[in-house]
Amino acid sequence: MPSRWFAPGRPVNGLAAPDYVVNERAAWWNPYRQHQLKGDFPVFGREDLFLSVTATNRFLYEARDVPTPSGITGPGPVSQNVFGNGRQTFVQDDVALTIDLFKGQQAFKPVDWRIRVTPVFNFNQLDVNEVGVVVIDPARGTVRRRTFFTLQEAFVEYHLLDLSDRYDFLSVEAGVLPFRSDFRGFLFEDTNLGVRLFGNADNNKWQYNLALFNQLDKDTNSQLNNYDNRDQNVLIANVYRQDWPVKGYTSSLSFHWNDDQRGFKFDDNRFLVSPAPIGVFTPNEIDVYYLGWAGEGHLGRWNVTHAFYQALGSEKVNAIAGRGVDVNAQFAALEVSYDIDWLRPRVFGLWASGDSNPRDGTGRGFSAIFDNPNFGGGGFSFWNSQGLKFTNTGLTQPGSSLADLRTSKSQGQSNFVNPGVLLFGAALDAELTPKWRGQVGFTYLRFDKTESLEFLLQAADISKSIGTELFFGTQYRPLLTNNVILQLGGGVLLPDDGFARIYDSNDIRYNVFTQIITTW
């Protein structure tokens, strides 16, 4: 045959070609059929050069009630409370076009080289009920609309060498590239400027990464890269071992180093995010490394995920301590589930250490680099998905389980004088049909230590109990593929004494969202 991709349908040795055509080309808009723009056939007359073009639209609508600072300096009736009307609506739409050109038949071996770019256009709108929230100027009202365009991904990949005839290999990536440093994104998950050396060994039983990132800053409202240098370097080295110590289970060891030298920074809404506008207004320098051990896999029908991190190093001038601190903080997480046909009940727990003496020169509160954990309730959880404000900084950040009192996960700095958090709960995942899946669950939340909260609020005896949240989520794929995904979910937080004391209210807090993802 002149080509395995475009073989002519003529008789061979007297046998007629079959009635169907293998690898039949189809219209570009048909998700069930193969096409050159989907990387199914080679392009430009080559046998090993492929092009995959993917257009993705992510639309999100969310209604929520979160603690919101009262706009006492703005127009309208004056509120005597620190926190006012917390009802908000948020709309975001991301339109992305990924162009992936690569050489090599990647189904059988690593690609020889790859060039990948992803331009993204973002629209976002936040509608609140208090002034001075969407931007620092209260005269700007209660609605903020923004658009942003960026090249979110732009990297090249090159295959350096093969280490065995089983395609154990060594490759390198360089540019603005995505990377998650552990199974669930507990410590670092980002798309940023860096270089990554990666590969495998011993018939793919070992995988390894060595990555160095020179972090780009983010647009405040879209959280996309804006190509300003933020004076932060992140070094990550990890290794994975498949089927160890038992088959079906993967173990991992990792090393992370966070060198954050960010100076003064106001975000795009003119709020000060560095240094943190609490305590001493002095630029801080973070020099912290993390030693990690994690694992994920199954033992029969039992599924296990776990992670442990030890953080060591120093902060030059911690805003809360008002001095340099030596970091000594810990993190642990565990999830266990059991498969019963179409049901998966699971239990989970997470602990991030807190600081019991905010002024003693030791930072015992755990803080991550750029976390985005898929754990517990994940994106359906109120606690994980919402950013809760706290005395000119944040108690939590969107997309994080940690209560680390940092101003911004993307534009602020890690902070190791914080209350920490302890959470545990249970959930039930259900594969209702091949097109429809769902989950329901609950989480009980506590602070590990409350002394840093008491110091900032100048209040005694704040309870450790945050509250209990209930969460739910459902996903529907009407075409049975991932070309159209409909999601609906949300969470409800039932506050306990600790949360009510901080925000001077025991009102129930909630979020509910719908997301539509279309991909072609």
Contact 252, 241 (CB under 8 A): yes
Give residue-wise pLDDT tens across range 440-467.
999 999 999 999 999 999 988 999 999 9
Return the SS3 of 497: helix
| Long-range interactions of 243-248: CB distance < 8 A, separation 24+ | 243/205, 244/205, 246/297, 246/299, 248/297, 248/298, 248/299
Task: Provide the pairing of β-strand 393-394 with 302-318.
Answer: unpaired
Residues in a beta bridge with 335: 305, 348
pLDDT in the model for residue 3? 57
pLDDT in the model for residue 5? 59
Question: How does DSSP assign 446-485, residue by residue?
Answer: E-S--HHHHHHHT-S---SEEEEEEEEEEEE-TTSSTTEE
Those residues of the chain that have pLDDT short of 50 are 1, 10-12, 17-20, 73-80
Residues in a beta bridge with 174: 156, 195
pLDDT in the model for residue 486? 98
Strand boundaries in 300-388, DSSP class E: 302-318, 323-338, 343-352, 362-363
pLDDT in the model for residue 22? 54
pLDDT in the model for residue 12? 46
Q: What angle do CA 98, 38, 225 make, to 5 degrees?
A: 10
Domain boundaries in the chain?
A: 38-519
Which class is 38-519 in CATH?
mainly beta
Question: How does DSSP assign 273-320, residue by residue?
Answer: EES-SSS------EEEEEEEEEEEEEETTEEEEEEEEEEEEEEEEETT
Task: Provide the pairing of β-strand 393-394 with 389-390.
Answer: antiparallel
What length does the chain have?
520
pLDDT in the model for residue 105? 77
Burial of 396: CB neighbours in 10 Å, binned 0-12, 13-18, 19+: buried
pLDDT in the model for residue 83? 83
Say what the pTM is. 0.92
Task: Provide the pairing of β-strand 343-352 with 421-431.
Answer: antiparallel
CA torsion sign, 76 to 509 to 406 to 419? Answer: positive
pLDDT in the model for residue 161? 94
Structure tokens at 285: 């320098």
Contact 310, 289 (CB under 8 A): no
DSSP H helix total and E strand total for the chain: 3, 24
Give residue-wise pLDDT tens across range 190-239.
999 999 999 999 999 999 999 999 999 999 999 999 999 999 999 999 99
